[in-house]
């Protein structure tokens, strides 16, 4: 086997053999296949696709590159959730402790930002002292004592994916459906959760721009999970508009705490509850009431214990960017569109994301929204506030925003897209 022949097979729209797939994943993990060679293969996959047989084998090879976890010793049923990535998507933060408060164990292995989308680990690392990297033994201990853990996948869990995930982020190959499906499902299957709910985003701010692509990705992942013995269901959720009123690391943590405290934006609350019900149902806890657990403070109690268990201070002041720039509404009327992709790009350019896999992120950087589609705005009122520690980034971020919103005349009727668009099981 050699990398060039594997690349040529997919470049020429051929089907990779099981032997080619097993070899290239193993060789890349060991460093025999270079980043530039895997980049070329990833681009060929993006352009020419993979069939179901190839995707299943690719996923199995990713799993085989590392260890598999076992949660059978826990007294609670395990259930997990994964989002394909969006703008302002902080749902994992309130969701994990909420589901744990209802009696499930939530082993939430999360990732960092990809392109214009935010990463759960980047967000939580804005909490002073919080550690993303913990050992398997620590993970089990946190799960046992609090019911929920959010952490990075260990080095032994699908190490091939860890390398490829970072590479995709900086080579324009994030959107490849076979690579998204295998990346997500290799970790989740190796993780050992009993049930999995997939939040597949669709819209301008998602990697899946059309409902057809979102269905394809969701169906692929549901099949991969089901075939591996994991109870798997997917919700297709809207990502044409950012979730909530913030896009950025510390900004989104602050908003998540508001949700756990009984407040927060309605779309964040609605999606958190919808996913919580799916996770609890998949775990066999149909009688649990997540709305009650959110209202009575028990979810907040789990959040505080969960953050503390990984060295974080739930009472610490979150970082705030040193500089702000306000974008005002150019006219009065009804805000009818606020493009999630443009907001995500602006947040990324302000420092909330990374251009290279080794780049740091700014904890306080991001975009704050002062209105959502359907709201009435007045000329001159704040529409967006940009946050960054490096004011020279404002000019570049602002270039993403001129076409990011529409304001219609006052009285224009507006119908919002439902947060949950479809369910696939």
DSSP string, 246-264: EEEHHHHHHHHHHHHTT-S
Query: Which domain CATH number covers 391?
Result: 3.90.1170.30
Examine the domain organization and report whether 272 and 223 are in the same domain: yes
Helices 177-191 and 159-169 cross at an angle (nearest 10°) of: 150
- Closest by CA position to 85, among listed 249, 165, 205, 179: 205
Examine the domain organization and report whether 39 and 12 are in the same domain: yes
Cβ–Cβ under 8 Å, residues 268 and 243:
yes
Distance between CA 85 and CA 207 in Å, rounded? Answer: 7
- Specify the number of domains making up the chain: 3
Examine the domain organization and report whether 302 and 214 are in the same domain: yes
Tokens of 79: 């259930």
Residue 233 is assigned to a structural domain of this protein: yes
Residue 64 is assigned to a structural domain of this protein: no
Catalytic residue status for 286 = no
Q: Which of 183, 228, 256, 404 is catalytic?
A: 183
Per residue in 301-340, is it b (16+ CB within 10 Å) or e — as a string? bbbbbbbbbbebebeeeebebebebebebeeebbbbebbb
Examine the domain organization and report whether 198 and 286 are in the same domain: yes
Query: Which domain CATH number covers 208?
Result: 3.40.1030.10
Distance between CA 420 and CA 162 in Å, rounded? Answer: 30
Residue 128 is assigned to a structural domain of this protein: yes
Examine the domain organization and report whether 208 and 347 are in the same domain: no
Examine the domain organization and report whether 226 and 327 are in the same domain: no
pTM check: above 0.75: yes
Residue 82 pLDDT = 94
C-alpha torsion sign, points 6, 12, 17, 21: positive
∠ CA 68-91-106, rounded to 5°: 35
Examine the domain organization and report whether 180 and 289 are in the same domain: yes
Catalytic residue status for 82 = yes
- Closest by CA position to 115, among listed 174, 62, 63: 174
Tokens of 311: 């060295």
Examine the domain organization and report whether 129 and 233 are in the same domain: yes
Distance between CA 317 and CA 257 in Å, rounded? Answer: 12
Residue 318 is assigned to a structural domain of this protein: no
Cα-based torsion angle of the residue sequence 163, 169, 175, 177 in order, rounded to the nearest 10 degrees? 10
Residue with tokens 């996959």: 45
Examine the domain organization and report whether 114 and 201 are in the same domain: yes
- Owning domain of residue 41: 3-49
Q: Which of 168, 188, 215, 354 is catalytic?
A: 168
- Closest by CA position to 420, among listed 272, 213, 216: 272
Catalytic residue status for 387 = no
- What is the side-by-side order of every strand in the sheet holding 195-202? 79-83, 195-202, 231-238, 420-424
Residue 58 is assigned to a structural domain of this protein: no
- Closest by CA position to 407, among listed 328, 347, 326: 328
Catalytic residue status for 315 = no
User: First CA to last CA across the chain, in angstroms?
Assistant: 38
Residue 384 is assigned to a structural domain of this protein: yes
Q: How many Å is the maximal CA-CA distance in the chain?
A: 66
Tokens of 271: 């999606």
Distance between CA 264 and CA 247 in Å, rounded? Answer: 14
Residue 376 pLDDT = 97
Tokens of 279: 């996770």
Distance between CA 74 and CA 308 in Å, rounded? Answer: 21
Tokens of 50: 């993979």
- What is the side-by-side order of every strand in the sheet holding 246-248? 246-248, 366-369, 382-388, 323-328
Residue 65 is assigned to a structural domain of this protein: no
3-class secondary structure per residue, 141-158: HHHHHHCEEEEECCCCCC
Q: Give pLDDT tens digits along the chain (425 positions).
A: 999 999 999 999 999 999 999 999 999 999 999 999 999 999 999 999 999 899 999 999 999 999 999 898 899 999 999 999 899 999 999 999 999 999 999 999 888 887 788 899 999 999 999 999 999 899 999 999 999 999 998 878 889 998 998 898 789 898 899 998 999 999 899 989 999 999 999 999 998 999 999 999 999 999 999 988 999 999 999 999 999 999 999 999 999 999 999 999 999 999 999 999 999 999 999 999 999 999 999 999 999 999 999 999 999 999 999 999 999 999 999 999 999 999 999 999 999 998 776 788 999 999 999 999 999 999 999 999 999 999 999 999 999 999 999 999 999 999 999 999 999 99
Examine the domain organization and report whether 285 and 345 are in the same domain: no
Tokens of 249: 């690391």
Query: Which domain CATH number covers 34?
Result: 1.20.970.10
Give the domain-ending residue among 309, 331, 365: 309
Examine the domain organization and report whether 252 and 115 are in the same domain: yes
Cβ–Cβ under 8 Å, residues 24 and 57:
no
Q: 3-state DSSP: the chain helix, strand, coil percent, rounded to 5?
A: 45, 15, 40
Backbone angles phi, psi at 7, to 5 degrees: -60, -45
Catalytic residue status for 161 = yes
Q: Which of 112, 187, 188, 231 is catalytic?
A: 187
DSSP one-letter code for 14: P
Q: Determine which helix (DSSP H) or strand (DSSP E) holds 295, and give its type and residue range.
A: helix 290-295
Residue 74 is assigned to a structural domain of this protein: no
Distance between CA 198 and CA 220 in Å, rounded? Answer: 11
Instruction: Provide the β-strand partners of residue 385.
Output: 326, 368
Q: List C-alpha distances in Å: 119 to 50, 82, 168, 275, 389.
A: 26, 12, 14, 18, 19
Q: Determine which helix (DSSP H) or strand (DSSP E) holds 160, and give its type and residue range.
A: helix 159-169
Q: Which of 10, 57, 81, 82 is catalytic?
A: 82
Q: Which of 80, 89, 122, 161 is catalytic?
A: 161
3-class secondary structure per residue, 116-134: CECCHHHHHCCCCCCCCCC
**Chain length of the chain:** 425
Examine the domain organization and report whether 299 and 331 are in the same domain: no
DSSP one-letter code for 409: P
Give the domain-ending residue among 276, 309, 342: 309
């Amino acid at each position: 086997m050699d990398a060039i022949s594997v690349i040529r097979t997919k470049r020429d729209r051929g089907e990779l053999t099981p032997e080619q797939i097993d070899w290239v994943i193993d060789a890349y993990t060991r460093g025999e296949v270079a980043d530039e060679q895997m980049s070329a293969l990833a681009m060929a996959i993006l352009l020419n696709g993979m069939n179901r047989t190839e995707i299943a084998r690719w996923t199995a090879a990713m799993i085989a590159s590392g260890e598999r976890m076992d949660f059978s010793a826990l007294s609670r049923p395990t259930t997990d959730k994964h989002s394909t990535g969006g703008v302002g998507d902080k749902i994992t933060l309130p969701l994990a402790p909420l589901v744990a408060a209802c009696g499930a164990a939530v082993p939430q292995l999360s990732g960092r930002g990809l392109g214009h989308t935010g990463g759960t680990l980047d967000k939580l690392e804005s909490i002073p002292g919080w550690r993303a990297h913990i050992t398997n033994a620590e993970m089990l201990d946190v799960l046992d004592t609090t019911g929920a853990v959010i952490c990075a996948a260990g080095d032994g869990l699908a190490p091939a994916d860890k390398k490829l995930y970072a590479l995709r982020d900086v080579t324009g190959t994030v959107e490849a459906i076979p690579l998204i499906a295998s990346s997500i499902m290799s970790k989740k299957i190796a993780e050992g959760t009993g049930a999995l709910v997939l939040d597949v985003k669709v819209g301008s701010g998602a990697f899946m721009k059309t409902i057809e692509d979102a269905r394809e990705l969701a169906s692929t992942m549901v099949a991969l999970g089901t075939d591996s013995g994991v109870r798997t269901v997917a919700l297709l959720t809207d990502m044409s508009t950012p979730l909530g009123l913030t896009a950025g690391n510390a900004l989104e943590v602050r908003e998540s705490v508001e949700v756990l405290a009984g407040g927060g934006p309605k779309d964040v609350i609605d999606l958190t509850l919808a996913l919580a019900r799916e996770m609890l149902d998949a775990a066999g806890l149909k009688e649990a009431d997540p709305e009650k657990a959110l209202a009575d403070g028990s979810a907040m109690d789990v959040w505080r214990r969960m953050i503390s268990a990984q060295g974080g201070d739930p009472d610490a002041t979150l970082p705030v960017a040193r500089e702000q720039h306000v974008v005002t509404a150019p006219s009065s009327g009804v805000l009818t569109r606020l493009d999630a992709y443009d907001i995500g790009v602006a947040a990324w350019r302000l420092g909330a994301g990374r251009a290279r896999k080794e780049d740091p992120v700014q904890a306080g950087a991001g975009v704050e929204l002062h209105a959502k589609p359907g709201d009435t705005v007045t000329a001159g009122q704040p529409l967006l506030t940009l946050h960054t520690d490096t004011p020279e980034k404002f000019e570049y971020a602002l270039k993403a925003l001129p076409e990011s919103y529409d304001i219609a005349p006052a009285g224009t009727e507006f119908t919002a897209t439902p947060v949950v668009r479809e369910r696939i099981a």
